[in-house]
A and B are shown apart, each in its own frame.
Chain A
Amino acid sequence: EVQLVESGGGLVQPGGSLRLSCAASEFTFSDYWMSWVRQAPGKGLEWVANINKDGSGESYMDSVKGRFTISRDNARNSLYLEMSNVGVEDTSMYYCARWYYNEAWYFDLWGRGTRVTVSS
């Protein structure tokens, strides 16, 4: 089955670090741009970061620049999000998503998410 499965979420203290992972199955991972999208409790969806097919290019939302790093390992069909110096505002469900172009860009495949809670 074509799917994305996130892992690595949990409880982290303010100022701490966490690494999220996303495992891709049943598609050629290296053919696609990938993204992280988050949803804070009771809030809407919020794009976090994108990475291109070979990992040579990244983009981030302003509030995570310098703190989060998106990366990928195409040999392992995996996407990552390194989170550092986290704050309570980073508490969210984090979704891995495939960023696809077909006349326009859109997220055509999503995982179920991994929850990150920042609290002391």
Chain B
Amino acid sequence: DIQMTQSPSSLSAYVGDRVTITCRASQSIGRSLSWYQHKPGKAPKVLIYRTSSLQSGVPPRFSGSGSETDFTLTITNLQPEDFADYYCQQSSSTPETFGQGTRVEVK
């Protein structure tokens, strides 16, 4: 199985900050990487697919980059509604594994 390692596991930030979350795959996954936002009691929501493609309806302050084993989710100008858990997920091979998550909290 491909292991996905996210860092940090949590971070504190101010509204308006730029936030970066990284995700490392245990082997090359090409660009088969997506990012999800999850708030308590809500359905998870895809933000980015295929490493850097912005899902329809997602604000452009979210962006993704990377390839092979190293990937990044960046949130610029953090907004109050962005405080949530974030997960990366690879779809290069089954099982489609997730990172352990990053909690973005208000500072």
Secondary structure at the A interface, as helix, strand, loop or mixed, is strand
In the complex, what residues of B have CB within 8 A of residue A4's CB? 43
Q: Given the complex of chains A and B, what is the CA–CA distance between A24 and B31 in angstroms? A: 29
Secondary structure at the B interface, as helix, strand, loop or mixed, is loop
Q: Are A102 and B50 in contact (CB under 8 A)?
A: yes
Given contacts A106-B34, A108-B55, A112-B42, contact A45 B91 (CB under 8 A): no
Q: Chain B contact residues (Cβ within 8 angstroms of A): what range?
A: 20 to 34
A41-83 at interface with B (beta carbon < 8 Å)? 44-47, 50, 59, 61-62
In the complex, what residues of A have CB within 8 A of residue B38's CB? 45
Select one of B44, B50, B55 contacting A110, CB under 8 A.
Answer: B44
Q: Given the complex of chains A and B, what is the CA–CA distance between A97 and B89 in angstroms? A: 14
Q: Are A104 and B49 in contact (CB under 8 A)?
A: yes
Chain B residues at the A interface, C-beta cutoff of 8 Å: 31-34, 36, 38, 41-46, 49-51, 53, 55, 87, 89, 91, 94-101
For this complex, 28 residue pairs linking A to B, each with C-beta atoms less than 8 Å apart, are A44-B87, A44-B99, A44-B100, A45-B87, A45-B89, A45-B101, A47-B89, A47-B98, A50-B94, A95-B44, A97-B44, A102-B53, A103-B49, A103-B50, A104-B34, A104-B51, A104-B91, A105-B32, A105-B96, A106-B34, A106-B50, A110-B43, A110-B44, A110-B45, A111-B43, A112-B41, A112-B42, A113-B43
Chain A residues at the B interface, C-beta cutoff of 8 Å: 4, 37, 44-47, 50, 59, 61-62, 95, 97, 102-108, 110-113
Pairs of residues from A and B, 10 with the lowest C-beta to C-beta distance, nearest first? A105-B91, A106-B34, A104-B50, A110-B43, A106-B49, A44-B101, A45-B98, A47-B96, A103-B50, A44-B100
